[in-house]
Amino acid sequence: MLTNSDIVELTALRHHLHRHPELSGQESRTAATVAAALQPLSPTRLETGLGGHGLAAMFDSGKPGPTVLFRAELDALPIEELSGAGHRSTVPGVGHLCGHDGHSTILLGLARLIARRPPERGRVVLLFQPAEEDGSGAAAVLADPRFAPFAPDWAFALHNMPGIALGRFSIRPGPVNCASQGLRVVLRGKTSHASVPERGVSPALALARLIPAAMAAGQGGEVVAGYRLVTVTHTRMGEPAFGIAPGEAELWLTLRTLLDADMAALEADILSLLHDEAKDQGLDLAISHHDVFRACTNDPAATQAITDALDALGLTHCDAALPMRASEDFGRFGAAARSAMVLLGSGTDHPMLHNPDYDFPDTLIGPGVTLFERILRDLLGG
C-alpha cells in the first residue's frame, strides 16, 4: 500500500501537473514530467511519443501470463480555470478541469507499488494517453506500430465523477459512455447588398430550418438502446454588418447515441436533412467530421474483475450515473481487450467536470491506486 510519504509526494506531483496543463495533442511537457517520475522505478520498457505524446511503461514478470493495461489521460481543456486553489493553472485559457492530472497521478502511484512488488506472471502496462478530450488519442495510440508490444488482454480505466459520494465507486457491465461525433456544416451561397437580397443566395432560411429539424432528429430522453441526441453547439452567419445580405453560414452539431450501431443511422438521417435543405435553397454544402468517439462498453468479465476487487477491499459501489451521456475515448480499447471503466465519486456537491471551478480531489489518489493494485494482483498475482 502507499505510504504517507507516497501520498505527500504524489499530491505534490498532481499539483505540479495541474499548474501546467496542456491541450490535446500538445502534452509534451506533461509527458516529460510523467516519464521522469517513471524512470527511477525501472520499468522493463518505457516507450514515449506514442500516438503523439503518449507513453507506456511495461513491468514484465518474465513469466507467461496476460497483459493487463491501466490507462490515464494527459490532456487538459481550453477553459479558463476560476478556482481559488493555490495550485491553479498558470496557463491562460487552459485548465485540468476534468481530472486527468489526478488520473495520471493514480497510475504513477500504482507504478510505485509495482516497482516494489512485481507481478508473479504476465505483464502490467501503464498507458498515459494523449488527446482524450477530442477523441483522437486512443485511435492514434492503437495505430502506432510501437504500441504492438503493449497490446493488452485486459484494459481498465477510472474517471472521477462529481455527483457521486466522495470515494464511492460506480460500475456496471454493458454500455457506460455514449458514442458521439461533431459535424461542422458550411453552407455557401452568394452575398448581395442588403437592399437587394434577392440578387444573392442567402443561407438564412436554411439555417433557420436546419436547427429545429436537426434537434428533432435526436431529442435525447432516457439513455437506453435507441437513445439519440443532437446538440447545436455553434452557429455563424454572414458578416456583422447591416449592409450585406449573408452568403455563408456555419452550423456545428454534436451527434450522440448510446450504441455505435445507432450512430450510423443518426448520421445518415442528419446528412440527408442537410443535403436536402442545401439543394432546396441552392446552396453549396461542405461537411467535416470532428471529435469522433466510439461507444464505451464494459466487458462482463472485466467488470467482474473490478467488482471482485472492490468487494475484497470492502469498498462500497453502485451503478449511479451509468450509462453516461458523455463520451470517453477509452471505448476503443474494448475492440481488442476485455475492458471496463469504473467511476470514482468526487463528492455530491463537488463542481462538475469541465466547470471553471472544478479541481480533482486529492483524497481520491489513495482509493484509485488501491483498487487498481488489487485488480492486477487478482489477475497476475504477486
Q: What is the pLDDT of residue 176?
A: 97
Preceding omega of 246 cis (within 30 degrees of 0): no
Q: Tell me the pLDDT tens digit for each residue of 130-168.
A: 999 999 999 999 999 999 999 999 999 999 999 999 999
Q: What is the pLDDT of residue 289?
A: 98
Amino acid at position 218, single letter: G
pTM of the model: 0.95
What's the DSSP call for residue 351? Answer: P
Q: Tell me the pLDDT tens digit for each residue of 88-126.
A: 999 999 999 999 999 999 999 999 999 999 999 999 999
Q: What is the pLDDT of residue 35?
A: 98
Residue 314's contacts (CB-CB under 8 Å, 6 or more residues apart) are none
Classify strands 123-129 and 67-73 as parallel, antiparallel or unpaired: parallel
Q: What is the pLDDT of residue 163?
A: 97
Q: 13, 216, 230: which is closest to 112 by C-alpha?
A: 13
Q: How many CB atoms sit inside 10 A of residue 224's CB?
A: 10
Q: 178, 162, 154: which is closest to 308 by C-alpha?
A: 154
Please give the Cα distance from 167 to 165 (Å, whole number).
6
Q: What is the pLDDT of residue 138?
A: 98
- Pinpoint the alpha helices (H) of the chain: 4-19, 28-38, 100-116, 137-143, 204-217, 260-281, 300-313, 365-380
What's the DSSP call for residue 129? Answer: E
Please give the Cα distance from 152 to 154 (Å, whole number).
5
Q: 182, 24, 25: which is closest to 96 by C-alpha?
A: 24
Q: What is the pLDDT of residue 112?
A: 98
**Per-block average pLDDT, block size 10, for the chain (382 residues)?**
97 98 98 98 98 98 98 98 96 98 98 98 98 97 98 98 98 98 98 98 98 97 96 97 98 97 97 98 98 97 98 96 96 95 98 98 98 98 92
